[in-house]
Structure 1
Amino acid sequence: MNQPRSQHCIDQESPFGVDELFFSTTDRRGVIRFGNEVFIRVSKFKEDELIGKAHSIIRHPDMPRGVFRLFWQLLENDGTVAAYVKNRAKDGSYYWVMAFATKISDGHLSVRLKPTSELLETVIGVYDRVRQIEIEAAEGGASKDEVSDIGLEAASREIQQLGFADYPSFMRYALSMEMASRRKVLAEGSPNPDAISHHARSGDGVIGDSSVASMLRCNQRCTRSLDQMLDSLAKIRTATTTIQAINQRMSQFSDKIGLVAINARVSADSAPREAIAVALAESESENREAIAAIHQSVEQLVDSLDALSFELSAAALQSETNTTFLRELHVHTDDADSEALGHVQLLTDQAGRCADDLIRRLQDADDWFAKLAKLTECLQRNAKTLRFVRMAGVKESASLDESHPFRGLFDVVNKHIQSTIDDCGELRSAARQARSSVAIMENCKTQLIDDMASMNDQSAAFFQSACFA
């Protein structure tokens, strides 16, 4: 049987703060090359006990093999992956992280934050079920590779049962949720409710003109720009949620108008009434097509926002991790050595790549809502056409006996038409709010590009000077 390796574990957390970020680098085989102070402290190993060891030295036996199989597949194929990971410290205690890993030229970079969203409890349940399946497979004689494959399939099924198409969809959602939750927790702990004032974003305490201090100030400007973009993105998501709710209401109104159109055709007992019923059906069909077009546009918008949110969260996390590391260096030295500056340059490069992906995605953001506004105008015109048809129906019904089935239909239609017109106004308002937030993100993007370029120049220059010193 392939039982998991026996490890000493205790049901006690190895603590670290929500405001703390840590990172490590490995070679392509997963052998640790470097870790910052927080990583070393939380893992409870000495630095020389970690460097040169496989990253699995901190693997907790509660982690499913299938999750790691999935993690490495995505990292190697796509170059980027995010996952919840339960790690084991040297003394057997545990600590949960949201790990965001990327490929670098000669290995991998992994940055970690403390999970604070409600999603963690869901993931713990998923991992427990997947791990139990793996244990049963191992007890049945499956090899380690077979257990990993079985676990991967089980994890994929669990992700789909949570409502996600695949793991990449889930990880985009999870990282965005964790970054948003972290910002909320840190803001609630701040004396200023309008600012996230923990040390990694604050400019306080950065004294002097050393290379580290200069880079720290520059990188903090990048982090602040990304923070402002995250704030704007949250407003865009709120507007999009409103748009989704309105679109759903419109679909319900359209269904009701369609039912009236059918009843009108059935009860039309003269040529004029038949013509009105046909006009109502045709206008309702155009109305339904316009609503369907808006629905499709909103679905595409949500997918695009998910991707944008992931890229923005990744860029913000990388940038803030760099700020954290620079602050560690600033506390201990006026000028860092070449190894430390090499890792600063690495973090800067990775943050820059994430920012580049973000900027490319952001170029289309205003077009998303501009398209939605045009579709809404089309729908409103259709709704006004429906109103004219309704007026013709009311006029034709006036001479009918009150018991005639044709007579009361157009009073019902009027309410739904007016609701559709009102909803069009709300849609346009939500789209305007979203486009206003997009404009703010565009302004932040311009500042971010300048600061990223400056940060790249500084880190490269200081790294070269340290190498030749």
Structure 2
Amino acid sequence: MGPEELFFSTTDVRGVIRQGNSVFVRVSGYPLDELLGTAHNVVRHPDMPAGAFRLMWDSLAAGTPVAVYVCNRTKAGDHYWVCAVVSPLHDGFVSVRVAPTPEAVDLVSEVYVEAVRVERDAAAAGLSRREVAERGAQAIVATLATYGFSSYEEFMHVALPLEISARGHRVSEAHQRSAATGDVASVLAGTGALADQLDAMVESLATYQALGDELADAAVHVLDMAHRLEVSVHTAQQASALVAEKSPVLSNVARVMAQPMTDAVTALAQLPEDFSRLRGDIGRVRFQIALTALYDEMAAAFAAEVHDGVAPASSLTAVPLLCDAAETSVAEMAAQVEKVNGDLQHVAALVSEAGTLLDDFRRFIGQWRHLVLRHARAALAEQVRPIDEELTTSWQWTEQLRALGRQASSAVVRFDRDAAHAHLEAVREPARRLAAG
């Protein structure tokens, strides 16, 4: 299976194959007439855990696309791996598969071995087929958690963009045909224009994803500093008690400054959850971009095959379906972009609020430090020194967090949905004419 090749198929809601392309035929070893009208599990490998398909069908039943790594079996009994992307479409499903990276296959193989073991134990215990599959799905999610993924959704939101990125520009360029004319040229021009738009989106999102990671890192340090400053407050209160009779004002200030410190810690403690939501929404946009790019590339591959004489013009009946699937993905992408922009503004506001609360605390502790210098410098020197060190370090991290917050405040992810729609129309209409004529 070449790196530039793409499997394609459509099925009805029961998984019975309606369409397939030349790559599916060649790699599976089944003639097209044997595939059509047959359940897609004709190529299922016995070593595949049922849990992987449970995860897939659960997503599709919810009306959402899914990416899943699958080991299939050829007619001759050999096996091959694919990264399969499946989307609900009209009265069935559309699927595009790519050759996965070796690193992904290594990881997923380990995950699936554990799932198969769990499923065999469940079957031996007399559980039903559905219960066995559910146990397998739970095992897959649990094993992925050991690799740092909080859910299967998070895993596929990371995995699919990496697979598309690994294919690179050389793959999409492999389907362009400079000598093409007429409607074939129009289809290829439309797919190329959409690919360029998606590439620009990927670049901007990489910047915002890096910003989100930096914000999360800075927030962890600032929250840690804040917790340590809370300890400093107690230290200041204890130190003030030592000289309470001589300088009661120190105790009063030390008592009052505890509240803004508590407020700051409370505000900072909210940030990790908000940063997690930002990264999650960015991941969803990246997934939708990868999904759209894959459908776009598949449309280009069909047009290239027709140009090369490898496939008849009638094969282009699949292209409008791909455009429909891409339109759904584009709509979801637009909604997710709005969420990311809202997340960025929300995060910026929270960072600003936390910084203001920390500034309030610093003013109080600054007053306390000034009073120490006036009334108890010698008596409290040992207690003051670690407080000063914590304040200096926390100020540096707080300033870094605020600078990142200002970046988030001015950040805007731009996506022109109308332009994407126009590119898809430029693909859909000439493909329909070619298929019909």
Settle same-fold status: TM greater than 0.5.
yes
Task: Specify the SS of the correspondent of 1:92.
Answer: coil
**Alignment match, 1:239:** 211
Task: Specify the SS of the correspondent of 2:47.
Answer: coil
Deviation of 1:140 (Å): 5.3
Structural mapping, 1:209-228, within 5 Å: 209-228=181-200
**Alignment match, 1:100:** 85
Tell me, yes or no, if structure 1 residue 83 matches structure 2 residue 68. Answer: yes
Tell me, yes or no, if structure 1 residue 412 matches structure 2 residue 393. Answer: no
Structural mapping, 1:207-286, within 5 Å: 207-268=179-240, 269=244, 270-286=247-263
The 2-side partners of 1:34 and 1:297 are apart by 44
The 1-side partners of 2:203 and 2:373 are apart by 55
Task: Specify the SS of the correspondent of 1:30.
Answer: coil
One-letter amino acid of the counterpart of residue 342, structure 2: D
Cα deviation 1:169-220 (Å, max 9, x = unaligned): 333333234334x15xx3xxxxxxxxx3x14246853323321221111111
Tell me, yes or no, if structure 1 residue 327 matches structure 2 residue 304. Answer: yes
Task: Specify the SS of the correspondent of 1:364.
Answer: helix
The 1-side partners of 2:229 and 2:326 are apart by 52
Distance 1:253 1:33, change over 3 A: same
Equivalent residue in structure 1 for 2:397, among 412, 423, 430: 423
**Alignment match, 1:11:** none
The 1-side partners of 2:388 and 2:118 are apart by 58
One-letter amino acid of the counterpart of residue 352, structure 1: E
Task: Specify the SS of the correspondent of 1:63.
Answer: coil
**Alignment match, 2:118:** 133
Tell me, yes or no, if structure 1 residue 355 matches structure 2 residue 330. Answer: yes
- Computed over aligned residues only, the root mean square deviation of the Cα atoms, in angstroms, reads 2.8
Cα deviation 1:406-436 (Å, max 9, x = unaligned): 4444443344334334334433443555677
**Alignment match, 1:290:** 267
The 8 Å contact of residues 400 and 407 in structure 1, kept in 2 or not, is answered as no
Task: Specify the SS of the correspondent of 1:24.
Answer: strand
Distance 1:455 1:408, change over 3 A: same
Structure 1, unaligned runs of 5 or more = 1-15, 187-195
Deviation of 1:127 (Å): 0.8
Task: Specify the SS of the correspondent of 1:133.
Answer: helix
The 8 Å contact of residues 202 and 220 in structure 1, kept in 2 or not, is answered as no
The 8 Å contact of residues 187 and 426 in structure 2, kept in 1 or not, is answered as no
The 1-side partners of 2:262 and 2:54 are apart by 50
Distance 1:428 1:318, change over 3 A: farther
User: Alignment identity in percent?
Assistant: 28
One-letter amino acid of the counterpart of residue 422, structure 1: Q
Equivalent residue in structure 2 for 1:69, among 25, 37, 54: 54
Distance 1:381 1:408, change over 3 A: farther
The 1-side partners of 2:405 and 2:281 are apart by 15
**Alignment match, 2:318:** 343
One-letter amino acid of the counterpart of residue 60, structure 1: H
**Alignment match, 2:429:** 460
Task: Specify the SS of the correspondent of 2:15.
Answer: coil
One-letter amino acid of the counterpart of residue 372, structure 2: S
The 8 Å contact of residues 349 and 456 in structure 1, kept in 2 or not, is answered as no
The 2-side partners of 1:67 and 1:345 are apart by 29
The 8 Å contact of residues 177 and 304 in structure 2, kept in 1 or not, is answered as no
The 8 Å contact of residues 138 and 144 in structure 1, kept in 2 or not, is answered as yes
The 8 Å contact of residues 19 and 200 in structure 1, kept in 2 or not, is answered as yes
Of the structure 1 ranges 100-109 and 72-81, higher mean CA displacement relative to structure 2 is found in 72-81
One-letter amino acid of the counterpart of residue 365, structure 2: R
Tell me, yes or no, if structure 1 residue 26 matches structure 2 residue 11. Answer: yes
Distance 1:66 1:124, change over 3 A: same
The 8 Å contact of residues 254 and 365 in structure 2, kept in 1 or not, is answered as no
Deviation of 1:110 (Å): 0.8
Structural mapping, 1:304-453, within 5 Å: 304-332=281-309, 337=313, 339-399=314-374, 404=379, 406-431=380-405, 439=412, 441-442=413-414, 445-446=415-416, 449-453=418-422
The 8 Å contact of residues 341 and 463 in structure 1, kept in 2 or not, is answered as yes
Cα deviation 1:280-332 (Å, max 9, x = unaligned): 31231232133124333213212222222222222222222222222222222
One-letter amino acid of the counterpart of residue 224, structure 2: Q
Distance 1:455 1:157, change over 3 A: closer
The 2-side partners of 1:159 and 1:341 are apart by 38
Identify, as 1 or 2, the structure richer in helix. 2
Task: Specify the SS of the correspondent of 1:60.
Answer: coil
The 1-side partners of 2:409 and 2:34 are apart by 52
Distance 1:142 1:364, change over 3 A: closer
Task: Specify the SS of the correspondent of 1:200.
Answer: helix
Of the structure 1 ranges 228-237 and 155-164, higher mean CA displacement relative to structure 2 is found in 155-164
Deviation of 1:356 (Å): 1.2
Tell me, yes or no, if structure 1 residue 170 matches structure 2 residue 145. Answer: no
The 1-side partners of 2:332 and 2:258 are apart by 46
Equivalent residue in structure 1 for 2:33, among 48, 67, 84: 48
Distance 1:381 1:431, change over 3 A: closer
Count of residues in Structure 1 that have an aligned counterpart in Structure 2: 432
Task: Specify the SS of the correspondent of 2:62.
Answer: helix
The 2-side partners of 1:17 and 1:175 are apart by 18
The 8 Å contact of residues 352 and 405 in structure 2, kept in 1 or not, is answered as no
Distance 1:125 1:329, change over 3 A: same
Of the structure 1 ranges 77-86 and 157-166, higher mean CA displacement relative to structure 2 is found in 157-166
The 8 Å contact of residues 341 and 459 in structure 1, kept in 2 or not, is answered as no
Deviation of 1:229 (Å): 0.9
Deviation of 1:348 (Å): 1.0
Distance 1:395 1:155, change over 3 A: closer
Distance 1:300 1:319, change over 3 A: same
Task: Specify the SS of the correspondent of 2:260.
Answer: helix
The 8 Å contact of residues 398 and 407 in structure 1, kept in 2 or not, is answered as no
The 8 Å contact of residues 232 and 387 in structure 2, kept in 1 or not, is answered as yes
**Alignment match, 2:172:** 200
Distance 1:390 1:411, change over 3 A: farther
**Alignment match, 2:95:** 110
